[in-house]
């Protein structure tokens, strides 16, 4: 498991550093804005940024390496703060069925839908789940993701949820990417608990979460608050136990209806409330009061052909930080490009390019509780950044598809290429 990096508290730059990176415009994303520094420089020591600013003002460091870029821009590393990358099988056949006119209810009645993913996940070994997750994660890394959150939630039993969480932890050890693990056992009702949702919540609270906490398998706890999943009262029980175990919480809320789950999340000082198509202004006010991040997921909105957008205007009005994420999952967002979500966030949800980029940098980091160490180009932050041979940040939003050429720096070192 990667070692956490703490912010540097010294205001004086050191006389020596490991490396200096020059020759491009810095897109610092401080306070959620571009905050451009033309012809900037970044000094790195021990995997952290120890100085950043205009190259003309750079101190006379002694350094081991200097990297000179010929123009372009440097952004913070991308943060994908909501994914479901670990699961068995895929649902491409069902996707084709739906496009051919078969209803979701008909597919579910035939054993499809989330149940098919649950069955495939339960049957898969850890190594099989790991191999499949690597196939999905590597394309995200190739376009600049340096921090990713991955949820469980397709095991829906103590054994299978723990298996998924162990795979998530293994991914964080195997690859040069910061992986945050989230326990989403309260994702759906397993078939063996049909009609006994409270008993399944008992299992999560009394048996699963204590093991998850004792074995350090999760960094947060999530739940799905919807009519077809779990009620606010049931979610509240999960959150109360999570808090007692010292685990922060997140929530899938207001995706399909308004149950004011986002306000519930805010009452529990949740890191984020996610989806939010049916959130109200009162929900936005509650989130603003506690700093809960709104995580917008345009991939699911697009694939499900939804028509109600998240209340972006209310989030702006009340200064709720807005993150964007891929929501990579087998049923509603089989997305392997976080950069595509930048464009979707702008075209579908009417975000500005600056808001969209903040959504996968500083606000994405805040949605994971990493605002002190990730998400901006500032002294004391982890040295995760990306050089792009582009003229302006909006180009990251503008181009559709394909992998833009880039140099990805992870903890102060150039990261190798990733191919699935």
331 is in an annotated binding site: yes
372 is in an annotated binding site: no
Whether residues 332 and 294 share a domain: the answer is: yes
Does residue 316 sit within a domain? Answer: yes
Does residue 272 sit within a domain? Answer: yes
Whether residues 175 and 279 share a domain: the answer is: yes
Whether residues 158 and 107 share a domain: the answer is: yes
Note the pLDDT of residue 379: 97
274 is in an annotated binding site: no
255 is in an annotated binding site: yes
82 is in an annotated binding site: yes
327 is in an annotated binding site: yes
Give the CATH number of the domain where residue 176 resides. 3.20.20.140
Note the pLDDT of residue 36: 98
Q: HSE on the CB side for 88, CA within 13 Å?
A: 21
Note the pLDDT of residue 105: 66
Query: 369, exposed or middle or buried, with CB in 10 Å at 0-12, 13-18, 19+?
Result: middle
Output the six-digit token pair for 118. Answer: 């649950």
187 is in an annotated binding site: yes
Whether residues 161 and 228 share a domain: the answer is: yes
Output the six-digit token pair for 314. Answer: 């209310």
**CA quadruple 46, 47, 52, 54: dihedral positive or negative?**
positive
Query: pLDDT of the chain along its 420 residues, tens only?
Result: 343 443 334 456 678 999 999 999 999 999 999 999 999 999 999 999 999 999 999 998 888 899 999 999 999 999 999 999 999 999 999 889 889 998 866 887 777 888 899 999 999 999 999 999 999 999 999 999 999 999 999 999 999 999 999 999 999 999 999 999 999 999 999 999 999 999 999 999 999 999 999 999 999 999 999 998 999 999 999 999 999 999 999 999 999 999 999 999 999 999 999 999 999 999 999 999 999 999 999 999 999 999 999 999 999 999 999 999 999 999 999 999 999 999 999 999 999 999 999 999 999 999 999 999 999 999 999 999 999 999 999 999 999 988 899 999 999 999 987 654
The terminus-to-terminus CA distance of the chain in angstroms comes to 22
Does residue 420 sit within a domain? Answer: no
d(CA 47, CA 330): 35
329 is in an annotated binding site: yes
Does residue 222 sit within a domain? Answer: yes
Whether residues 157 and 50 share a domain: the answer is: no
d(CA 324, CA 366): 11
What is the residue range of 46's domain? 19-76+376-414
Give the CATH number of the domain where residue 70 resides. 2.30.40.10
Whether residues 31 and 92 share a domain: the answer is: no
* 385 DSSP β-pair partners: 76, 409
Note the pLDDT of residue 8: 39
Q: Which residues contact 44 (CB under 8 A, 6 or more apart)?
A: 17, 18, 19, 20, 21, 50, 383, 412
Does residue 9 sit within a domain? Answer: no
78-80/73-76 β-pairing: unpaired
Note the pLDDT of residue 2: 41
Among 5, 87, 21, CA closest to 328 = 87
332 is in an annotated binding site: yes
Domain count for the chain: 2
Strands of 261-364 (E only): list them: 272-275, 293-296, 322-324
Whether residues 240 and 317 share a domain: the answer is: yes
Whether residues 123 and 266 share a domain: the answer is: yes
Note the pLDDT of residue 355: 98
Whether residues 59 and 190 share a domain: the answer is: no
Note the pLDDT of residue 38: 97
């Amino acid at each position: 498991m990667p070692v956490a990096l703490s912010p540097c508290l010294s205001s004086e730059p050191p006389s020596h550093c490991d490396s200096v990176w020059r020759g491009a415009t810095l897109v610092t994303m401080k306070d959620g804005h571009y905050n451009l520094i033309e012809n900037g420089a970044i000094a790195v020591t021990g995997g952290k940024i120890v100085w950043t600013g205009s190259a003309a003002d750079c101190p006379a460091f002694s350094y081991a390496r200097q990297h000179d870029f010929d123009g372009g821009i440097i952004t913070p590393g991308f943060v994908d703060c909501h994914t479901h990358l670990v699961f068995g099988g895929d649902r491409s056949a069902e996707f084709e069925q739906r496009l051919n006119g078969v209803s979701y209810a008909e597919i579910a009645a035939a054993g499809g839908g989330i149940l098919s993913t649950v069955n495939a996940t339960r049957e898969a070994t850890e190594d099989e789940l790991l191999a499949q997750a690597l196939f999905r994660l590597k394309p995200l890394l190739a376009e600049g993701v340096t921090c990713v959150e991955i949820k469980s939630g397709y095991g829906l039993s103590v054994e299978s949820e723990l298996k998924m969480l162990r795979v998530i932890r293994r991914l964080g050890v195997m690859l040069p990417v910061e992986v945050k693990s989230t326990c989403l056992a309260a994702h759906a009702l397993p078939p063996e608990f049909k009609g006994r949702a409270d008993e399944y919540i008992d299992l999560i609270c009394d048996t699963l979460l204590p093991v998850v906490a004792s074995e350090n398998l999760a960094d947060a706890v999530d739940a799905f608050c919807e009519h077809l999943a779990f009620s606010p009262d049931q979610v509240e029980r999960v959150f109360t136990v999570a808090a007692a175990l010292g685990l922060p919480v997140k929530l899938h809320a207001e995706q399909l209806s308004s149950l004011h789950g986002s306000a519930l999340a805010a009452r529990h000082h949740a890191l984020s409330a996610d989806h939010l198509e049916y959130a109200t202004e009162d929900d936005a006010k509650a989130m603003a009061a506690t700093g809960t991040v709104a995580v917008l997921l345009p991939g699911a909105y697009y694939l499900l052909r939804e028509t109600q957008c998240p209340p972006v205007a209310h989030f702006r009005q009340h200064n709720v930080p807005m993150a964007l994420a891929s929501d990579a999952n087998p049923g509603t967002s089989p997305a392997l490009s976080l950069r595509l979500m930048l464009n979707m966030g702008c075209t579908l949800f009417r975000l500005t390019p600056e808001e969209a980029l903040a959504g996968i940098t500083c606000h994405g980091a805040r949605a994971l509780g990493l605002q002190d160490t990730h998400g901006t180009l500032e002294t004391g932050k982890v040295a995760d950044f990306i050089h792009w041979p582009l003229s302006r940040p909006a180009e990251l939003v503008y181009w559709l598809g394909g992998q833009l050429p880039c140099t990805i720096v992870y903890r102060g070192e150039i990261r190798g290429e990733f191919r699935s």
